[in-house]
Amino acid sequence: VNQILLLLLVLTVCAILYNKVHQVPLALKNETVDLETPEEMEEEIPVVICAAAGRMGAAVAAISSIYSNTEANVLFYIIGLKTNIPHIRKWIENSKLKEIKFKVVEFNPTVLKGKIRQDASRPELLQPLNFVRFYLPLLIQKHEKVIYLDDDVIVQGDIQELYDTKLAPGHAAAFSDDCDLPSTHEMVRSVGMQNTYMGFLDYRKQAIRDLGISPSTCSFNPGVIVANMTEWKHQRITKQLEKWMQRNVEENLYSSTLGGGVATSPMLIVFHGKYSSINPMWHIRHLGWSPDARYSEQFLQEAKLLHWNGRYKPWDYPSVHTDLWENWFIPDPSGKFKLTRPDS
């Protein structure tokens, strides 16, 4: 019996020693799994762009520029009205953009009923898709962080850099401050653009004065947004924006004849003092404000993102710096969208 017990003890010790020598550490096992599935670990960058009727070429050029200048895992959310969706889908699927990851999302304009004051001076600014940025959490639901871009932009840098913009605690969004870049100040003065709250809100109205915001406060441009969806929902940003849209319908608190847009003004009110800043080179604006005023070529080459905000769009005529935009334009396979040029 003693010999049998001794034999069993020896076998047990040998088994323990064998396992210690040949066992793979748990940490190494995990590391091996991670190395075998890098795509699963790659962060997805959601980019929201609208595709409006008559401007789809703009959305396509913006997407083309982003896709061509990054190795990041970008997922494009292309927002359109029901009647526009087949056109933009066909354009993408029948061009070199067929390789991109994208989702086409329908925007229902009925959510705007009774919230937009009719304004004859610039009716194009009242188009439903101009207000998509107000409803980001309703359209894009599975992401914590989202980039929104106007369609009249070209991205020359790596979109990963913009996505990595740090938002301060409690901030639902980051924007470009209209006073942030000295290089643009001369352009602003030369064409009479507005860069303060006075240019966007009617300070003759008591509701505006009651906000306690100085009219000389620098404005920001919501054509490029890095948004935190959790904070946006927590602070009920969409409801706040809708409240000021409704008040404008009733009291005419802002107008497109002021700052040139009706979507900017409610955002200036709701986000006053509560937004983070985007790197100035990631939003070089005002390229569409005048058919004559130009930036230096060197400055534009250094820019990460170009924005033709204003009346003079690079797919129309007259406009400036159209060569930088046309580098990324992809012709419409259906032939419906055509560039307007002096010889056309």
What is the DSSP secondary-structure string of 220-265?
Answer: EEEEEEEEEHHHHHHTTHHHHHHHHHHHHHHH----HHHHS-SSHH
Question: What gap in Å lies between CA 1 and CA 194, rounded to an integer?
Answer: 99
- 116-121, long-range: CB < 8 A, 24+ apart: 116/245, 116/249, 116/262, 117/248, 117/249, 117/252, 117/262, 119/255, 119/256, 119/257, 119/262, 121/255, 121/256, 121/257
Which residue, among 120, 119, 129, 108, has the nearest Cα to 55 in the 3D structure? Answer: 129
What contacts 198, CB < 8 A, 6 or more positions away?
A: 215, 216
Residue 93 resides in a domain: yes
Assess whether pLDDT exceeds 50 at residue 314. yes
Give the total number of structural domains in the chain.
Answer: 1
pLDDT at 293 over 70: yes
Domain residues for the domain of 310 are 45-179+220-247+264-327
| CATH number of 273's domain | 3.90.550.10
Instruction: Give tens-digit pLDDT for 10-64.
Output: 666 666 655 544 443 333 323 333 333 444 457 999 999 999 999 999 999 999 9
Asked if residue 39 is part of any domain, the answer here is no
* Gap between the Cα atoms of 285 and 308, Å rounded: 6
Q: Is residue 23 part of a domain?
A: no
CB atoms within 10 A of CB 46: 22
pLDDT number for residue 189:
60
User: In the numeric block, which tokens belong to residue 280?
Assistant: 């100035």
Confidence of residue 178 (pLDDT cuts 50, 70, 90): confident
Q: Is residue 81 part of a domain?
A: yes
pLDDT value of residue 254: 87
Q: What is the pTM of this model?
A: 0.86
Q: Is residue 28 domain-resident?
A: no
Checking if the pLDDT of 122 tops 90, the result is no
Please report the pLDDT score of residue 19 as a whole number: 55
- Please tell me which residue, 188 or 195, carries the higher pLDDT value: 195
Look at residue 12 and tell me if it is in a domain.
no
Any domain includes 60: yes
Does residue 301 lie within any of the structural domains? yes
Work out the pLDDT band at 88, boundaries 50, 70, 90: very high
Q: How far apart are CA 220 and CA 173, in angstroms?
A: 12
